[in-house]
Amino acid sequence: MMDRVPYLNFQDYLKNLAVHSGGDTADYGLYLNEIASLHRFAFYSSTLVFLIDYKTMTYPFMDTNVLQILGHHLNAFKEGGLEFSFHNNLDFTYLNQDIFKDRATFLAEHRNEDLSRFRFSMGFRYRNAKGRIRHILQRNIITELTSDALPIGIMGFAWDVTNQAPRARIFHEIEWFDEQDQSWKTAVTKEYFPEIDEDKLLSKRELEILKWAMEGLASKQIADRLFISVHTVNAHRKNMLRRTNSRNMIEVAQYALKHRLF
């Protein structure tokens, strides 16, 4: 188990990767190119299938229907590689800092686990060739690790969910598969709302509930004072935790004080 995350952010990690890794995902990319059924499935299900080699900053494999999903021709990704993708990912800052750190920390804590049990999901905004914004859902698994148990190659899937996500909501999630229950369990989940000012992230009613909670009142007592149901109070509590990426109401209160919401 590693004592610390060895890189400050995703970009720093990529800069050092070529020096510390001898991995190569090119052969796997050639193999994927030969699977005709994979191409048909991807096209007709509007699913983008891709393989990323972090060492070379390239896509050893990417489906031609990338135009359908991301709004750019395949040649743009072949020629520009990851740098081209980063340029058009409007929320790369979240990936470069918070999301990467969460993933690196998770892998450091689970380096002896079977990689096939992990999956990583992310929602972000992407600019197509016409300058329009698309909301993308991406899910990937790791195909290869460095000696420090950090990813060098991933296989991913992406979908255009613009019609289902009209407002900007950035999120990332790490899940692991429970063999006994045959279900996916969440290890990390966070959300970000880049189009909402931090001082407007919590509603007036939520701040009111937060104030009473900080005074030691239970949900039932807060509900009685506000003439609402206890279920409504608990729903507001969950929303505040989710929107501020807090583990408890004390952290929500710290967020509110930091941004002068009281």
Q: Specify the pTM.
A: 0.75
Q: Pick left, alpha or beta for residue 169 (phi over 0 → left; psi -120 to 50 → alpha; otherwise beta).
A: beta
pLDDT digit string (tens) for the chain, length 262 residues: 444 556 778 888 888 876 666 556 667 677 677 777 888 888 888 999 999 998 888 999 999 899 999 999 999 999 999 999 999 999 999 999 889 989 888 888 886 667 878 999 999 999 999 999 999 999 999 888 777 777 888 999 999 999 886 677 889 999 999 989 999 999 999 988 877 666 677 888 888 888 888 888 898 898 888 888 889 888 888 888 887 878 888 888 888 888 787 7
Distance CA 39, CA 47 (A): 9
pLDDT of residue 8: 78
pLDDT of residue 255: 82
* Beta-carbon contacts of residue 162 (< 8 Å; ≥ 6 apart): 133, 134, 135
CATH number assigned to the domain covering 10-192: 3.30.450.20
Q: Which amino acid would we find at residue 16?
A: N
Q: How far is CA 220 from CA 58, 214, 227, 251, in A?
A: 55, 14, 10, 21
pLDDT of residue 28: 67
CATH 1.10.10.10 segments of the chain = 198-258
CATH number assigned to the domain covering 198-258: 1.10.10.10
Query: Which of 155, 148, 213 is closest to 25 using CA atoms?
Result: 155
Give me the count of residues in the chain: 262
CATH 3.30.450.20 segments of the chain = 10-192
Q: How far is CA 13 from CA 82, 142, 146, 164, 173, in A?
A: 14, 16, 11, 33, 20
